[in-house]
Chains A and B, each alone.
Chain A
Amino acid sequence: MDSAGVTLDNVSKRFGAVEALHDVSARILPGRLTGLVGPDGAGKTTLMRLMAGLLTPSAGEISVCGFDTVREQARIADLTGYMPQRFGLYEDLTVLENMRLYAALRELPEGEQADAFARLLAFTRLEPFTERLAGKLSGGMKQKLGLACALMAQPRVLLLDEPGVGVDPLSRQDLWRMVRELTREGMTVVWSTAYLDEAEQCEAVLLCNGGRLAFDGPPGELTARLAGRAFRLANPRGDRRALLTRLVQLPEVSDGVIQGSAIRVVVREGAALDGVCALAHAADSEAEPVAPCFEDAFVDMLGGGPGGVSLLAERMPTVTLDAGAAVRCERLTRRFGDFVAAENVDFAVTPGEIFGLLGPNGAGKSTTFKMLCGLLKPSAGMAQVAGIDLARAASDAKSRLGYMAQKFSLYGLLSVRQNLEFSAGVYGLSGAEKKARVAEMVETFDLGPFLDAAPAELALGYRQRLALSCALMHRPPVLFLDEPTSGVDPVTRREFWTHINGLVRKGVTVLVTTHFMDEAEYCDRIALMVRGRVIALDTPDALKARAASAQSPTPTMEEAFIALIRASEKAEAQP
């Protein structure tokens, strides 16, 4: 009897005309770590709230530990610990005050409170911060406090909605450690995430896409379907982005991505490898078989990647920059009061390069980015874009750069046409030139049928095209992307990077901020930022090589990231 698990029977949930979940049936087994995986908008949060009894299904039934979430809602509250996606605690209360509140609300017997608090504080390593206001905690510590409060009075089912978002890799590792410990003690844990690489850490996975359950089972079962179909081409000679384009145009290749200096491809079932091998040999490389990953399997399930040619890039004229560096900053510093958000940041980005700023939330990525875009004045130091000093001619410099805000954000109250016209106008295009440029973007991206629609009504893929056209309207030689594809489904993400790769081949320089390891792999070089400073700057492969050790000879980007942060902390501790 799986009375401590969750059973979903034909669950659907509508919000007005939108169906957020469609006919989902699954069993979440007790005492296990189950990943609820899928891109943004897949229905993960809706499903979490349904299981926590905070929403009522439009059809179907859910039972948690054998209790119906609608009819026996009060029991659900007793038996489950729920951690919402947004920090659900009080920022103006201290760590201890928040814990006391939740202890009382969950009716933890007062005699047990001291023991329970000691245990939870040790478990989450929050003892030194009990008197700190929750609002002053880092992202990782907030999530740990959220976890501590959700664990109050020992729930049997723990529901964690995207606990890894906004958390640095070190804290994320910590959270995984804690959750594993809990399942060992018999707790049922559901961990929702948009990071597909996290799926592989779970014992079971519910993969959601577009409100439907795409897969239910152990992650290995899904990746096993791709056994023998994933290959890696290490260090190809010449332009690896051009090679990728040619590879994904082969009929037998279903998917391909850049991975540092290598290329990773997945071939279709039963396809011959001749074409891939030929291209690999021509570039002095080898198609070596590698283990398929969860993301490969997800893309394959969705019918493969989007193909390789970017119409946008083809139409874009080749950009040449006379300046030695497309973007350069020297000793760039920004202080907010006595807090140093960015300290002596130094780097130079060569034209035609994809340069990544990688780091946890609060590391100073956005601050640096804003100074480079001319949105924030530096406290000290120098910043140049396309050879123009931002301190002297900020508006000149701004006209040479394009900026795309997080997650393809657009003006929701303007139609697609108005968004295009606004961005053309704001970059100083007018008259016939403006008309021609807008028409060109509409044609390139097939936006014609949607001109009068609101951006929000567009499918994600189209919204991404629109955001990109708005940022590129004035054909800037330098493009700034702020976490462009975190939480986006892998097919849309591949399409996006196809455009970016195409643009780079035309000489456009691209700067990306991200805390998303997949995005980091697309970069030529990465500056790793922690607490306002650049602690490492190199190619993704070199960074990984620096972190390699006897125990893990081929670390992932995330493992490399953690190792480099640890090393810098150690160096800092020694005077």
Chain B
Amino acid sequence: MNGVSARRLLAIVKKESLQIVRDPSTLIVAFVLPVALLFLFAFAVSLDVRRVPLGVVLECDSEAAQAMAASFAGSRYFRVTPARDRREVAAQVVAGRLRGYVVIPQDFDRRLRSSDAALVQVVTDGGQPMLANFVANYARAAATATLSERRDGAGAGGIVLQPRFWFNPELESRRALVPGAIAIVMTMIGVLLTALVVAREWERGTMEGLLSTPVTLIELLVGKLLPYFALGMLATAITATLAVTLFGVPMRGSALTLFVAAAVFMFPALSQGVLISVVARNQFTASQVAMISAFLPTFLLSGFLFEIAAMPAPLRFISYFVPARYFIAILQTVFLVGDVWSLILPQLAAIFALGALLFLAARSRLKKNLER
């Protein structure tokens, strides 16, 4: 057997880099796509309640009721349409102009004094199940605040519950989502791009030429993957910089930790890309398989958008095999908490183990000939 030759390895790296630089589609996937995704996650996809159009029906003119209505109107969570009669706003909910309405009833003062009666009536669009809860809770919180103010004024003391949210005090979903976007971008570059470029070699017949030379499989693999590794790290740097400077995501850990984690995460991603292209051998199938086996799980099963603990058991089980699950946990730790190695190391180990699994699978399928 030929040993690994640095010259051949470098030649492959150089060839691959030239191709990346000359192929606009590769550069689009590597640089334009991450930025687009980041903007999408930062602005369009938001799990926060903000400026929700809401009707507030004031049926009572007492001071407390006025204060209640004002606390809705003054909130940044709602865009309030005031009304005196519920019929005015009910029609607008049906028409879709409002998401719901709150009725501050005539006997609001009495309800405020009693502890068991509901404070206000909340009617919301059934298509927004979270909203009803949110509005009801907000009303109760606002009422409690109003009440305690008065009691303070009256010199009366009460037990006040003051929630404090750690790590993301404003509970902005952007702060949790943008680090997740980095995982998505790296999956795209690592898996999709790699799967495409190797499949392209099969499709265009250039693989046949390569395989007929003394190049070894290891040289071929490493030489092909190194440039994409670099591309992935570059994209991470860009995305992280944008996240911190433009979107105000805090960076409580160190950049070094981020890059170590990203580098480890590239291992399963690149291996999966190679595995796909070895099996698929044409670009169309490769891209479909990459979408279904890498992009979708990263998006849906990594805990990035949806809480893993809330998933049914089979999906929870599958999520253990999604490298992004561990990577997103690390990213959220690095961005929002800091370099907590006791949290990061086990996740890194899991990513590495999955990477080794995928690499061995790819290696065993890759042969230095054209046999299937």
Is there contact, CB below 8 Å, between B369 and A107? no
- 6 cross-chain pairs, A with B, having the tightest CB-CB distances, nearest first: A88-B209, A104-B11, A86-B205, A82-B212, A105-B213, A84-B208
Q: Count of B residues near A, CB < 8 Å?
A: 29
Q: How large is the interface on A (under 10, 10 to 19, 20 to 34, 35 or more residues)?
A: 20 to 34
**Contact of B2 with A by CB under 8 A:** yes
**Contact of B142 with A by CB under 8 A:** no
Is there contact, CB below 8 Å, between A107 and B205? no
**With the chains together, A87 CA to B211 CA distance in Å?**
14
**Contact of A411 with B by CB under 8 A:** no
Is there contact, CB below 8 Å, between B369 and A106? no
Q: Residue B208 contacts which of A54, A100, A102 (CB distance < 8 angstroms)?
A: A54
Is there contact, CB below 8 Å, between B210 and A104? no
Kindly identify, within residues 58 to 99 of chain A, every residue whose CB is under 8 Å from any CB belonging to chain B.
Answer: 73-74, 77-78, 80, 82-93, 97
A85 / chain B contacts, CB cutoff of 8 Å: 205
Is there contact, CB below 8 Å, between B15 and A90? yes
Closest chain-B Cβ to A189's Cβ sits at a distance in Å of 15
Residue of A nearest to B220 (CB): A105
B7 / chain A contacts, CB cutoff of 8 Å: 104, 107
**Contact of A212 with B by CB under 8 A:** no
A91 / chain B contacts, CB cutoff of 8 Å: 204
B11, B19, B209, most chain A CB atoms within 10 A:
B209
Kindly identify, within residues 162 to 216 of chain B, every residue whose CB is under 8 Å from any CB belonging to chain A.
Answer: 204-206, 208-215
B22, B213, B368, most chain A CB atoms within 10 A:
B213
Is there contact, CB below 8 Å, between B22 and A84? no
Is there contact, CB below 8 Å, between A88 and B10? no
Proximity string of chain B (352-372) to chain A, C-beta cutoff 8 Å, 1 when within and 0 when not: 000000000000000011110
Main secondary structure, interface of B, reads helix
Residue of B nearest to A53 (CB): B369
Q: Residue B214 contacts which of A55, A77, A89 (CB distance < 8 angstroms)?
A: A77
Known A-B contacts A90-B19, A97-B15, A102-B213; A55 and B205 likewise in contact (beta carbons under 8 Å): no
**Contact of A331 with B by CB under 8 A:** no
A interface residue numbers (CB < 8 A to B): 49, 52-56, 73-74, 77-78, 80, 82-93, 97, 100-102, 104-107, 146, 149
A90, A100, A102, A105, most chain B CB atoms within 10 A:
A105
**Contact of B18 with A by CB under 8 A:** yes
**Contact of B5 with A by CB under 8 A:** yes
Closest chain-B Cβ to A217's Cβ sits at a distance in Å of 28
Is there contact, CB below 8 Å, between A97 and B18? yes
Kindly identify, within residues 1 to 24 of chain B, every residue whose CB is under 8 Å from any CB belonging to chain A.
Answer: 1-2, 5, 7-8, 10-12, 14-15, 18-19, 22-23
Known A-B contacts A54-B370, A73-B369; A105 and B215 likewise in contact (beta carbons under 8 Å): yes
Is there contact, CB below 8 Å, between B368 and A73? yes
**With the chains together, A90 CA to B210 CA distance in Å?**
10
Kindly identify, within residues 232 to 278 of chain B, every residue whose CB is under 8 Å from any CB belonging to chain A.
Answer: none
Q: Residue A55 contacts which of B1, B210, B370 (CB distance < 8 angstroms)?
A: B370
**With the chains together, A89 CA to B11 CA distance in Å?**
14
Proximity string of chain B (82-123) to chain A, C-beta cutoff 8 Å, 1 when within and 0 when not: 000000000000000000000000000000000000000000
**A-B pairs with beta carbons under 8 Å apart, 29 shown:** A49-B370, A52-B212, A53-B212, A53-B369, A54-B208, A56-B371, A74-B1, A77-B212, A77-B215, A84-B205, A86-B205, A87-B205, A88-B206, A89-B209, A91-B204, A92-B18, A92-B22, A92-B23, A93-B15, A93-B18, A100-B11, A101-B12, A101-B14, A102-B213, A104-B8, A105-B12, A105-B210, A107-B5, A107-B7
Residue of A nearest to B207 (CB): A88
A74, A88, A106, most chain B CB atoms within 10 A:
A88
A107 / chain B contacts, CB cutoff of 8 Å: 5, 7-8, 214
Closest chain-A Cβ to B214's Cβ sits at a distance in Å of 4
**With the chains together, A92 CA to B19 CA distance in Å?**
6
